[in-house]
Each structure stands twice: as structure tokens, then as C-alpha cells.
Chain A
Amino acid sequence: MIGNDDIFTRVSTVVRRTFQLDDSAPVTRETTSADVDGWDSLAHSVLLMGVEDEFGITFDAETMFELENVGALADLVGSRLAE
């Protein structure tokens, strides 16, 4: 069972990799697309696929474009892993 903190850490790592953020750039649960240069709809899909690969899961595509922030994405990963 992966803890929520571990999930968030791994999700934030995928966020950093996707948007090529350096270690000094903050990624928190409250980080949104507006906070990250280049986080557009295309990059959002690339991020989602990166998270799917990271955790070996598949999201319900229909709900993936309403996520409010990185925390919500991490929570969704937790829910998916718990199913």
C-alpha cells in the first residue's frame, strides 16, 4: 500500500519531469496549471500519461480535464490504486 505522501512525491516528480522544472521550483498540492509555464492542454495529456505510466494505472479519461491542482491529481491516483 503506497501512502498519500509517497503518491504526492511521485506525482510531483512526474510534474517536474514533464515541465522540466528545476528542484528549486515549488510543486505543492495547490500548484495549478496557471502556476507552471507550458502547462497547456497538450502538456496536461502528456502529464496524465506520465502519471499513468508511473503508477501502472489508467484514468477515466472523461474526468481528467476537471482536476483543480496537483493535489487533486495525487488524490485521484490514490483512489485509483485503492480500487
Chain B
Amino acid sequence: MKPALIFYGNCQANALSLLFGSDASIAGAFSVHYLASFDDRIPGTSEIDPAAVASAAVLFEQFDPVHFPHRASLPPACVTITFPSVDFNLVWPLAGRNIFNDPPTPERLWGTFPYGDRIIVEAVKKGLALEEILSEYATTAVERLPNLDRFAELEWARLRARDAKCDVKMAEYVESHFRDINLFWCINHPTLEALRELCLRLIAAAARSGVAIPSGTLDQTLAALPPQGPLGILRVPIHPAVAEHFRLSWVPDATAKVYGLWGEPLTYDEYFRQMAECSIGVRDASPAAAAQ
């Protein structure tokens, strides 16, 4: 029986387990398993094979107040490596809870628009019509932006504070590269580029603890994946004023269809129009309607 690598955490940990498990070199040497730390609505992620726990070589535990629940069953030689949730609020300062999201479906476990926008939510709450909502967004978004420099200070402090509790760090990497590389599709979904870096750091941390995880074919494995990777099904637009302020060199013109919703490429305006339409019920964005 191969020794096990266990990933415990949110959807990012699930993505990491999928990447490790799809790499021929890693999967040849280890069995790879995932256990959800919370929000385990993806089928099969709420339980883990006891045999995998008993044969674990490494527990990759995403930092969380609630530890891996089967720690007592891990073998004594198992190494535990903690890593941070890799999330990033900085370029979506207007994001907020979408109280007008569709109910979950089997195809869309978190609804159609799990990432809300505060201006649109407030406009819908005021009872505005579609074009009024979009007009409100267009005319007030810039003035509603927070002080972005102060927001950045707080964001870096937040990421560093969490890094301090983890064996593997990511804050400095994000801060150094976010201007030049697209590292996130939305606030909590890293791109393949960021996931690759996290994979390499986890492998390096395991090596420092005496567990050699082969990484020789990892880049080939990642290159064979669709560019959106395991977490890019939703690509949330970045406000042009935010992109300009932080000099995000990779953000294209707002008319480019680089954003996306469940695989449908959208421009900046199209994305928010659809969100507003769904929020006030003039558009049925369900998978069944989309298929017609």
C-alpha cells in the first residue's frame, strides 16, 4: 500500500489534492486524499478512508481553528505541514455577500453568483429597475471604493498574520507578483500560477521534513490542464479603477471577454448585467435555462 498524502482544508486544498493526484510521478509514489474542513457540500469530501489516515506520510493542513479531526489516528512518523488559505480581497474591494444569489443546485453548489457586489446588492434592495441598477453601478462605484492604499496595508497585514501561523508562507509571493501575474480568479480561488507556487512550496516543506515528493513532472501535469485550472469556473471582473490604481499589467481592456461565469466568457459589463438581471429575477441563469 502506498503512503498517503492528505489534504485538509477548503476548496483550495481540494484543488491541491486534485493536482497532486493527477501528477503521474506523485500518484505513483503516494495515494492522495482530501477532507473538507468546512462547507463539505462537494460529494465525497466529508469523510476520509481510515486506511489512508493510518498510512499517511504527510498531512497538509490548511490553517484553521478546527484541526484535522483524525490527528490521533495518524501514524507517529506522519509529518504535518500547515499552509494558509490563499485568498485575496485587494482587487475586489466592492465584493460582498450576494443575498440575491440563486439557490444551490447539484450543478452549482453555491448558486450562480456566489460572489456578490455591494453596490448591486444595495441597488436591488432599493427596488431599482435593471438599467437603474447598472447606472447606479457605473456612476457610484469609483466614489464607493475605499482608500485603496490603506486597504492594501490592511490586506498585507492580514495575509502576513495568517502566514505567521503556518509552516508554508504565501503572502510575500502574492505581494511580489500580483501586479504582473493573474494570481486569482476571485477572492478565494487562486489561478493555476498561484496553485503551482503553493504546490512547490508544499513539496519543499515536505522535503525539509524528510518526505521526498517527486515534482519532476508537475509542470507537465499543470500545462496539460485547461488554463482556468481547477478553480477558474468563475472569473470575477476587476474594476478598471482598481486595476489602474494597483497597476495590474495583466488586466486587459474592459471590453475583452476575459471574465466568466460557469464557462461562459463575458466582458466586464456583461458580467455585471447578468448579475443584476439574475438578482431582480429577469434572467433565469439556471443550468436548465442555459442549456435551452
Taking Cβ atoms with an 8 Å cutoff, the residues of A that contact B are: 20, 37-38, 40-46, 48-49, 52, 61-62, 64-66
Chain A min CB distance to B161 (Å): 5
B157: which A residues are within 8 A, CB to CB?
A: 61-62, 64-65
A46 to B162 alpha-carbon distance, docked (Å): 18
19 pairs of residues in contact across A and B, judged by CB atoms under 8 Å: A20-B122, A37-B97, A41-B87, A41-B89, A41-B158, A42-B89, A42-B92, A42-B93, A42-B96, A43-B96, A45-B146, A45-B154, A45-B155, A48-B154, A49-B146, A49-B150, A49-B154, A65-B158, A65-B161
Chain B min CB distance to A59 (Å): 8
B137: which A residues are within 8 A, CB to CB?
A: none
Q: Other CB < 8 Å A-B pairs besides A49-B150, A49-B154, 12 of them?
A: A38-B97, A41-B158, A42-B95, A42-B187, A43-B96, A45-B154, A45-B155, A45-B158, A61-B154, A62-B161, A64-B154, A64-B157
> Which of these, B125, B146, B160, contacts A62 with CB under 8 Å?
B160
A37: which B residues are within 8 A, CB to CB?
A: 97
Chain A min CB distance to B86 (Å): 13
Beyond A41-B87, A49-B150, A49-B154, whether A66 also contacts B97 by CB under 8 A is no
**B153 within 8 Å of A by Cβ?**
yes
A66 to B96 alpha-carbon distance, docked (Å): 21
- Contact (Cβ within 8 A) B161 A45: no
**B147 within 8 Å of A by Cβ?**
yes
Taking Cβ atoms with an 8 Å cutoff, the residues of B that contact A are: 87, 89, 92-93, 95-97, 122, 125, 146-147, 150-151, 153-158, 160-162, 187
A49 to B146 alpha-carbon distance, docked (Å): 8
Chain B residue nearest to A45 (CB atoms) is B154
Chain B min CB distance to A41 (Å): 6
A62 to B150 alpha-carbon distance, docked (Å): 13
Chain B min CB distance to A72 (Å): 15
A46: which B residues are within 8 A, CB to CB?
A: 93, 146
A49: which B residues are within 8 A, CB to CB?
A: 146-147, 150-151, 154
A45 to B88 alpha-carbon distance, docked (Å): 12
A44: which B residues are within 8 A, CB to CB?
A: 158
A64 to B158 alpha-carbon distance, docked (Å): 8
B122: which A residues are within 8 A, CB to CB?
A: 20
Chain B residue nearest to A60 (CB atoms) is B157
Residue of B95, B158, B187 with most partner-chain A CB within 10 A: B158
A46 to B118 alpha-carbon distance, docked (Å): 12
B151: which A residues are within 8 A, CB to CB?
A: 45, 49
A40 to B162 alpha-carbon distance, docked (Å): 15
Chain A min CB distance to B67 (Å): 18
A66: which B residues are within 8 A, CB to CB?
A: 161
A35 to B236 alpha-carbon distance, docked (Å): 27
A-B interface, 3 closest residue pairs, ranked by CB to CB distance from nearest: A61-B157, A38-B97, A42-B89
Chain B min CB distance to A63 (Å): 8
A45 to B146 alpha-carbon distance, docked (Å): 10
